[in-house]
Chains A and B, each alone.
Chain A
């Protein structure tokens, strides 16, 4: 069963961190050899000898409070706790004796005098460590009785939507407090009072929801009793089966055990338990991955295919063959009338590798053009371009674990504690160990200053000035000779290095010159540059705050230049690390879903590569690049682009300049949406193909560290088809045959066609748990760190990174700069998380505005604020905060009616057309009602929901 609740697999204390030697010792007559630094408890457990314990668990450092794990050691006085005693050479240990048993029983009786063994009525009967220890020691009740002072009348805290805290069941073992500190790094839990008065408390004796608690669930996992318990276990009962899978939320890609139980009719998910041996998460999770799976069974799920002739008429539920046939006929008619290039497909980072691979194959081989793109277009396409140009591979260079060896971490335009929480916790742990942090962000994110974390520098740059900032960093590093000359000479192209080094030394790139643009004080920038360059191991982590700009690709190249110039590539603890927003951003890009390249980032114009695919796919392939998402919209409005197959992506909500997107969608003659819900895009669709959640299908996701992990089916698809099967049906109906009986066969094809995947197959993934690509003959078990001896492109290339200001700048009419981001409890367009209890933390997008700007406009927190840009206007509620600088406002894009993208513009990255979400010049004014667009949206939504209701009413 669950790793966390099972004492069978719990070795009591973590493995020693830096071990070199082994020692010999004897436990209960058994001779053992273990690593130095191992606890006696762990050594015993490794030898199969169980020592009773309550406060110890191997996910947390030893604490030594429960007095259950006492042992006798020859030559030592008393009975030391085995969890806090480290092994020594020649040690002779006894874990069992009459004396030890008597002491343990006595301690346990004291525990149960305040925790009656009423196990039969307890929701975790059979999954409780106190119960296990009692049964092991044969203790059934307490000689001390139950009538002394106790905590049995303590009030239960039900405030968190996912778990309860029942102090009457608490044995004050501090595991939850330690988990919150050591694993999550939030420090929300404390033990208040002393002795008998001791009670675990969230915040300052607040409820969990009022406190700083981020609901990661680490405390629930670590609790040995039912004091902290999932509400789902209380209502549904303990799970019966467990399946290892990969989270479908952010790009960290945590491994989870999905634990289910039959309700008599079907399997239901009871809980998701993070997997201790998961390489990406090492047993940790966040509020989304662990708890927010309720959307999978939400009443809004659409499970039957639907069609209609126009978006102004009701949907009609039809059979799968009818829906597929309708789509194929429409697409072929459009191509006959408007030409081969008049249709295309969009896939998504929310889809599996196999699904994405099939969509691009359908477009290239079945549609006969290259009009395929993925939502990575609007997030990390500049990473693909920038890292390919400089280093030679479109991927991050490290494992997540690498951060544990970093001495200085520079975080640019990323907010990991909100958007990549499990990585955020790892980062925090390293910072608590003493690594230094440089935060480069227009906002005061949590990591700037939080419990036990303080950034060495917060360079609060103005939105739109990343490239000026990166060049100024390079200026200081090159001018002050802080570069790693040996690394550059050995590993990089020298003419390009010289050109770049001459360029960055130019006076226009000095911190003093760039201050006007960046808003960063020169002395702060110089200090940060020195700290970064002089660190032993300096690692850069960045996010969409780097890519989603008119110079996103330039900024990525500038970042790679900084890492090369300082020799921070090719080993652990360093590197260039893009934090990927969604679960399969890396994978969707790897799988050839960009219009100009086949799987493995190979351009469609390369005749050799094309020949390889033509042979495997038995069809002639087109040698010219296809349309990118924004080009598709333009071509729909002005040209002959008339049909679109959109899998798993909500372009109407997530893409910029909503008016433009909606105009384009309305211009399509056939829009096919494959999704779980009637999303914003589906309101403009003619065909709806119901998709499956990650619980209902097999496949793989590739996370931000290039780690390919299995997604395993735990229940049948509600629509009757896994998503890859729908694409296969569509291809067959279009006359391009596809034959697969399982996604493993799709992966085999990917491996045949993609050199970096040639060693990947499902059998190996099952065996190794996960694989970081490249995985091939040279690296049969994968590649944790890239560019070790040389760069993938051979020599590293210093690209020239001249700063070009965005045309989007503040003016008298639009004096503020709007930038956008994410919050912890919601995910992307919110289609999943809005349909879970995560709305308890956030049920709307808010506009952050600085007190000075708010006062100028008479705005208080909670007021409706109208936001106008040159693209459009919308209304949302304000929160007045100093997290943003004067002149900058900030919001999120999780809720469709906010219309954050009504105001964002069509500006985009010069190299990739990734939209400039992070800079929009706006005005903010206090208003009294929603905008006209929002009112129209409400009416339009109601109309579309009525069309859906009709379909369901008439369902066949």
Chain B
């Protein structure tokens, strides 16, 4: 059976969701701030902290905007 290769771990999914937010807001001068606010407005605290932990542990695959956004999120 073609068992689905897409059941990644939760954090990988969060990384791709967060990168999607950042890239869709990229045209705004304050894209990082908007990305932070979007995650604060729509993500649960646990989802945010999972991603923050990943970023703080040096996790890869985070876009520049997202990295900046996560720095702001960590301070918020």
- Complex Cα distance, B28 from A165, in Å, reads 63
Q: Which stretch of B18-26, B53-61, B67-75 is in the interface?
A: B18-26
User: Chain A CB within 10 Å — which of B21, B23, B26, B43 has the most?
Assistant: B43
Give every chain B residue within 8 A of A634 (Cβ-Cβ): 10, 13
Q: Which stretch of A227-235, A621-629, A691-699, A750-758 is in the interface?
A: A621-629
User: Chain B CB within 10 Å — which of A554, A802, A936 has the most?
Assistant: A802
Residue of A nearest to B50 (CB): A639
Given A596-B41, A596-B42, A908-B17, output 7 extra A-B contacts at Cβ < 8 Å.
A800-B27, A802-B27, A873-B2, A905-B6, A910-B21, A912-B42, A933-B1
Q: Which stretch of A72-80, A443-451, A864-872, A939-947 is in the interface?
A: A864-872
Which residue of the partner chain, among A631, A657, A802, A933, contacts B24 with CB atoms under 8 Å? A802
- Complex Cα distance, B17 from A628, in Å, reads 13
- Complex Cα distance, B4 from A912, in Å, reads 24
Which residue of the partner chain, among A551, A638, A870, A906, contacts B9 with CB atoms under 8 Å? A638
Residue of B nearest to A500 (CB): B27
Contacts from B to A (Cβ < 8 Å): 1-7, 9-10, 13, 17, 20-21, 23-24, 26-28, 38, 41-47
Does chain B have a CB within 8 A of A646? no
A637, B28: Cβ atoms under 8 Å? no
- Complex Cα distance, B51 from A763, in Å, reads 50
A866 to chain B, nearest CB (A): 10
Does chain B have a CB within 8 A of A515? no
- Complex Cα distance, B27 from A906, in Å, reads 25
Binary contact track A707-720/B, C-beta < 8 Å → 1, others 0: 00000000000000
B5, A870: Cβ atoms under 8 Å? yes
Give every chain A residue within 8 A of B2 (Cβ-Cβ): 868, 872-873
Interface residues of A in 658-695 (CB under 8 A from B): 659-660, 663
B24, A804: Cβ atoms under 8 Å? yes
A657, B6: Cβ atoms under 8 Å? yes
Binary contact track A324-341/B, C-beta < 8 Å → 1, others 0: 000000000000000001
B13, A625: Cβ atoms under 8 Å? no
Does chain B have a CB within 8 A of A503? yes
A635, B46: Cβ atoms under 8 Å? yes
Give every chain A residue within 8 A of B24 (Cβ-Cβ): 551, 554, 802, 804, 910-911
- Complex Cα distance, B38 from A912, in Å, reads 10
A766 to chain B, nearest CB (A): 39
Does chain B have a CB within 8 A of A932? yes
A22 to chain B, nearest CB (A): 56
- Complex Cα distance, B20 from A873, in Å, reads 26
B4, A872: Cβ atoms under 8 Å? yes
| Chain A contact residues, majority secondary structure | loop
Binary contact track A774-807/B, C-beta < 8 Å → 1, others 0: 0000000000000000000000000010101000
Give every chain A residue within 8 A of B6 (Cβ-Cβ): 657, 660, 870-871, 905-906
**Closest 4 A/B residue pairs (Cβ):** A910-B20, A638-B10, A800-B27, A659-B4
Give every chain B residue within 8 A of A639 (Cβ-Cβ): 10, 46
B8 to chain A, nearest CB (A): 9
Q: How many residues of A contact B (CB 8 A)?
A: 42
A403 to chain B, nearest CB (A): 32
B27, A625: Cβ atoms under 8 Å? no
Which residue of the partner chain, among B7, B10, B13, B44, contacts A663 with CB atoms under 8 Å? B7
Does chain B have a CB within 8 A of A550? yes
B41, A625: Cβ atoms under 8 Å? yes
- Complex Cα distance, B50 from A638, in Å, reads 11
A635, B10: Cβ atoms under 8 Å? yes
B44, A550: Cβ atoms under 8 Å? no
Known: A911-B38, A932-B1. A625 touches B43 (CB 8 A): yes
A780 to chain B, nearest CB (A): 33
- Complex Cα distance, B6 from A642, in Å, reads 22
B41 to chain A, nearest CB (A): 6
Residue of B nearest to A663 (CB): B7
B44, A631: Cβ atoms under 8 Å? yes
Does chain B have a CB within 8 A of A721? no
Interface residues of A in 580-624 (CB under 8 A from B): 595-596, 603, 605, 624
B45, A550: Cβ atoms under 8 Å? no
B4, A871: Cβ atoms under 8 Å? yes
A601 to chain B, nearest CB (A): 12
User: Chain B CB within 10 Å — which of A550, A625, A870, A912 has the most?
Assistant: A625
Give every chain A residue within 8 A of B1 (Cβ-Cβ): 932-933, 936
Jot down 10 A-B pairs with beta carbons below 8 A, ordered by A: A596-B41, A603-B41, A639-B46, A663-B7, A870-B4, A871-B4, A910-B23, A911-B21, A911-B42, A936-B1
Give every chain B residue within 8 A of A637 (Cβ-Cβ): 7, 10
B44 to chain A, nearest CB (A): 6
- Complex Cα distance, B25 from A802, in Å, reads 8
B25 to chain A, nearest CB (A): 8
B45, A804: Cβ atoms under 8 Å? no
Interface residues of A in 427-458 (CB under 8 A from B): none
B22 to chain A, nearest CB (A): 9
B7 to chain A, nearest CB (A): 6
Which residue of the partner chain, among B21, B23, B26, B44, contacts A625 with CB atoms under 8 Å? B44
Give every chain B residue within 8 A of A596 (Cβ-Cβ): 41-42
Does chain B have a CB within 8 A of A913? yes
- Complex Cα distance, B1 from A783, in Å, reads 54
- Complex Cα distance, B43 from A641, in Å, reads 15
- Complex Cα distance, B43 from A486, in Å, reads 39
Give every chain B residue within 8 A of A933 (Cβ-Cβ): 1
B61 to chain A, nearest CB (A): 13
- Complex Cα distance, B5 from A658, in Å, reads 13
Which residue of the partner chain, among A550, A659, A913, contacts B3 with CB atoms under 8 Å? A659
